[in-house]
Structures are given as structure tokens and as C-alpha cells.
């Protein structure tokens, strides 16, 4: 999937509409707790500004209901962070209304080197509905469209699909972030070097079932951790105590284990478990090998499982990782996730292509200070998972081919 990129576009004297993914987590006071998604689009914005263009950038934030301005979902904090990140590069970073009647004039007045950030796109009900009329009102703002919002590319919101279609025949290109995501989550995985190891974790089997099924037969082995592992263990008749289980998916899990066996894909499940009496850090703890006693819940993989998983990862030439091995945000139940993270880093150093996807996985790597040590950390949670499921994104169709 080779798309034309922003650096291949003549931007001098042009206004470029950049659809970014600034849907960042915020603290109770509205401040940004993790700015990775903002930082990830800075190279695309810089490319335009440094070559004599101006930028109109837009995103959604949170889940407003499309009923106009909701202060808790304002892009005000994002605008301030953009000013800080673009200091010395952008002439100004101005926050505008999302209403076409107001933003159109501000976009028209934009000068080279300046940035106009639109207010939360989802303040307008037409955004979530993929409304062509809303997109048509925005289309005259700019001379070209740039998609740098991989995290929203699995959705057909107005700014993702209707807008580039409305802007044709104006150029529609990919930003650096989107291009990188497509390379690692598309091209690299489609042509993965063997052995190919997938690591899936997190709380719910239901979230990962489509990805699991799609990868069986394509990867050599799948490591399953996190709470989702207990549904698979129960499917094998292994007692899991009070651990989280999706009982309605036990039979489905049995089927997946049989499918993997028939297609020569090895599935590795935890052999031991770091367990607790209650879901809190200061509760009574114990390590169980095999079955978990009643009254105990597994909150992380155990030390033997960590060694087993690390050994499998060490053989890999390609690794895809989506989901933590336990409750990584609550020590000591972060040990398994950290062990897997270090194993993935070691594989990277040994020449493997390693891709981490999903918000929790990225957060775990960030907490451990290891984000820069893998080949690629995806900014898209749902989008990266859907790409692992083999889904095609309609929003990418209007982007010009390279």
C-alpha cells in the first residue's frame, strides 16, 4: 500500500489540511497526561511549515455528542502543547472554531508558517455521521489534504473519508506518521520474516478474537497473556480460581486452539501465575503453577511463563505485540509485561522487526522508557488491531498512490 507522502508535495504558498489524531488522554484538570500522539504528527506539520506552507490541523478529542461546544472536550490544551512543540518553527498556533461560518475566514487569512487548529471536530454532529455536506463546507479551506491520523483511519468520519473525496482533484497525501504505520502494520507484516511471533494480551478475549483468527496460519507462534489467557486455560480444563474469564467464549477458545493446531501455529499460554486475593497492590499474593486455587485471581504471568515467552521471542525475526501480560499499571503485577518488553527489545537488537500496538502496550513501553527501542510503536489502538484482523480502511482509498 504505497501512498504519496507530504514530502512529495509542493507546499510553498499552499494551505494544507492535516487530519491528525490528537485524541490524547487528559488529567482531571484538563491537562494532557500523554502527548505521544501530538508529538508523532509534529514532523508532518514541520515539513509543511519549513517549506513555506501553512497548516490547518484538525482532530477529534473524547466523545462529545455533536451538540456544539463542550468545554471538557475543547482542544485548548492541545493548542497549548502544539505551541510548545512548534516554538521557533510556527509563526503562530491559533485555535479556531470548528464551525465553517467562523473557521473559513480564519483559514483564508492564514499566512505561510502559521498553524490553525480547528476546535474538536466532533462538536459538529456531521463529523461522526460521515456527513458529505459538513465535509463540503470544510473542503475550500485548503489546497491539499493530508491524512496523518492512523488512529482514526479505521473510521469513516467526515474528516477521514468524505473530506478527501470532497477535495478531489486537489492532492490527497499521507503524513509521515500514517506512512510509517502502513509500512510496519501493513507491508512489514504481510512480508514478515520468519519465525514470526505474535504476542496478544489484555483483558478481553472478545477484543482480540478476530486478530487471533486472522493470524493463525500466518504466524509461527502466538503468545497469549493477560486476563484473556484464563479463558483459554479454562477451555483446556485448567482451574483459574477467581480470575477474569469470558465464559461465553470458552467454546470459541477451544475452537481456536484446535484451529491453531491444524494450521501448525503454536499457541503458548502461561504456565504459572502471579495471583492476588483482591484487585489491589497491597493484598495477599502467591505464585501458582498450573491450576489456580479458588479465591485467588491471576493478575500477571509468573516468572516461569516470562522465561518461556522470552525464549520464544528470542527466536523471532518478526514480532507483533498487542496487549500487556498483566495489570502493568499496578506493581508488582507489571513484572510479566516488563519481562516481555525487555525480550522484545533484545529481539530488536538482534535484528528482528518489532511492532508494538495498542494504547496499553505503548503506555507500558513508555513507563519503562523503552518506546524508542522497538522498531515501531503504533499510535493507533483500535486501528492497529483492525489492521491485524486483515481489515481494509476505506479512508485510505482517496489518498493518492505514489
Residue 355 confidence (pLDDT):
92
DSSP conformational letter for 26 = B
Residue 194 confidence (pLDDT):
96
Task: Write the CB contacts of 316 (distance below 8 Å, at least 6 apart in sequence).
Answer: 195, 196, 197, 220, 347, 352
| 208 counts as catalytic | no
| 204 counts as catalytic | yes
Asked if residue 237 has pLDDT above 70, the reply is yes
| 382 counts as catalytic | yes
Average pLDDT over residues 165-176: 97
List the single range of 103-107, 259-263, 295-299, 335-339 with lowest mean pLDDT.
Answer: 103-107
Q: What is the pLDDT of residues 177-207, one digit of tens each?
A: 999 999 888 877 788 999 999 999 988 888 8
145 neighbors 17 (Cβ within 8 angstroms): yes
| 359 counts as catalytic | yes
Q: What is the pLDDT of residues 136-161, one digit of tens each?
A: 999 999 999 999 999 899 999 999 99
Residue 367 confidence (pLDDT):
80
Annotated catalytic residue: which of 170, 204, 285, 307? 204
Asked if residue 228 has pLDDT above 80, the reply is yes
DSSP 243-307: ----GGGHHHHHHHHHHHHHTT-EEE--SEEEEESSSSTTS-EEEEESSB-TT-EEEEE-HHHHH
Distance CA 238, CA 235 (A): 7
Give me the percent of the chain exceeding a pLDDT of 90. 77
Annotated catalytic residue: which of 91, 186, 241, 382? 382
* Mean pLDDT rounded to a whole number for the chain: 93
Residue 163 confidence (pLDDT):
98
Annotated catalytic residue: which of 37, 81, 180, 208? 37
Task: Write the CB contacts of 7 (distance below 8 Å, at least 6 apart in sequence).
Answer: 47, 176
Annotated catalytic residue: which of 126, 202, 302, 359? 359
Asked if residue 100 has pLDDT above 80, the reply is no
Average pLDDT over residues 251-259: 95
Q: What is the pLDDT of residues 59-77, one digit of tens each?
A: 999 999 888 889 999 999 9
Asked if residue 98 has pLDDT above 80, the reply is no
Residue 129 confidence (pLDDT):
95
Instruction: Say whether 181 sits in a helix, a strand or coil.
Output: helix
Asked if residue 248 has pLDDT above 90, the reply is yes
DSSP conformational letter for 200 = E
What cell was used for 150?
492512523
Average pLDDT over residues 21-47: 93
Residue-range domains of the chain with CATH: 6-179 (3.40.50.1260), 192-388 (3.40.50.1260)
Average pLDDT over residues 258-280: 96
Residue 334 confidence (pLDDT):
94
Strand 272-276, strand 285-289: pairing = antiparallel
Q: What is the pLDDT of residues 111-120, one digit of tens each?
A: 999 999 999 9
Residue 1 confidence (pLDDT):
60
**Of 240, 252, 181, 187, residue with least CA distance to 216:** 252
Asked if residue 358 has pLDDT above 80, the reply is no
Amino acid at each position: 500500500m504505497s501512498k504519496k507522502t507530504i514530502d512529495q508535495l509542493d507546499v510553498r504558498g499552499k494551505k494544507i489540511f492535516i487530519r491528525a489524531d490528537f485524541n490524547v488522554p487528559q488529567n482531571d484538570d484538563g491537562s494532557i497526561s500523554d502527548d505521544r500522539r501530538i508529538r508523532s504528527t509534529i514532523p508532518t506539520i514541520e515539513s509543511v511549515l519549513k517549506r513555506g506552507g501553512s497548516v490547518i490541523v484538525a482532530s477529534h478529542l473524547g466523545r462529545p455528542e455533536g451538540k456544539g461546544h463542550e468545554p471538557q472536550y475543547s482542544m485548548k490544551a492541545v493548542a497549548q502543547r502544539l505551541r510548545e512543540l512548534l516554538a521557533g518553527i510556527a509563526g503562530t498556533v491559533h485555535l479556531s472554531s470548528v464551525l465553517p461560518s467562523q473557521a473559513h475566514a480564519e483559514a483564508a487569512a492564514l499566512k505561510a508558517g502559521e498553524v490553525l487548529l480547528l476546535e474538536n471536530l466532533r462538536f459538529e454532529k456531521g463529523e461522526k455521521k460521515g456527513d458529505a455536506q459538513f465535509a463540503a463546507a470544510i473542503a475550500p479551506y485548503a489546497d491539499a489534504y493530508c491524512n496523518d491520523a492512523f488512529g482514526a483511519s479505521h473510521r469513516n468520519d467526515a474528516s477521514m473519508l468524505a473530506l478527501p473525496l470532497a477535495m478531489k482533484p486537489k492532492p490527497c497525501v499521507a503524513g509521515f506518521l500514517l506512512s510509517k504505520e502502513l509500512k510496519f502494520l501493513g507491508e512489514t507484516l504481510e512480508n514478515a520474516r520468519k519465525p514470526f511471533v505474535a504476542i496478544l494480551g489484555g483483558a478481553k478475549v472478545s477484543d482480540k478474537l478476530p486478530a487471533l483468527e486472522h493470524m493463525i496460519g500466518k504466524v509461527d507462534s502466538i503468545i497469549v497473556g493477560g486476563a484473556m489467557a484464563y479463558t483459554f486455560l479454562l477451555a483446556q480444563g485448567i482451574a483459574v480460581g477467581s480470575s477474569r474469564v469470558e465464559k461465553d467464549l470458552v467454546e470459541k477458545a477451544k475452537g481456536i486452539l484446535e484451529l491453531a493446531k491444524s494450521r501448525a501455529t503454536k499457541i503458548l499460554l502461561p504456565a504459572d501465575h502471579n495471583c492476588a486475593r483482591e484487585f489491589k497492590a497491597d493484598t495477599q499474593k502467591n505464585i501458582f503453577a498450573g491450576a489456580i486455587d479458588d479465591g485467588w485471581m491471576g493478575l500477571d504471568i509468573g516468572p516461569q511463563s516470562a522465561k518461556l515467552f522470552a525464549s520464544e521471542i528470542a527466536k523471532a525475526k518478526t514480532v507483533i505485540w498487542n496487549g500487556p501480560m498483566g495489570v502493568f499499571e499496578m506493581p508488582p503485577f507489571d513484572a510479566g509485561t516488563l519481562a516481555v518488553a525487555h525480550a522484545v527489545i533484545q529481539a530488536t537488537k538482534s535484528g528482528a522487526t518489532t511492532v508494538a500496538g495498542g494504547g496499553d502496550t505503548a503506555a507500558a513501553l513508555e513507563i519503562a522508557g523503552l518506546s524508542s527501542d522497538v522498531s515501531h510503536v503504533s499510535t493507533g489502538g483500535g486501528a492497529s488491531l483492525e489492521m491485524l484482523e486483515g481489515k481494509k480502511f476505506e479512508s485510505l482509498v482517496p489518498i493518492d498512490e505514489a
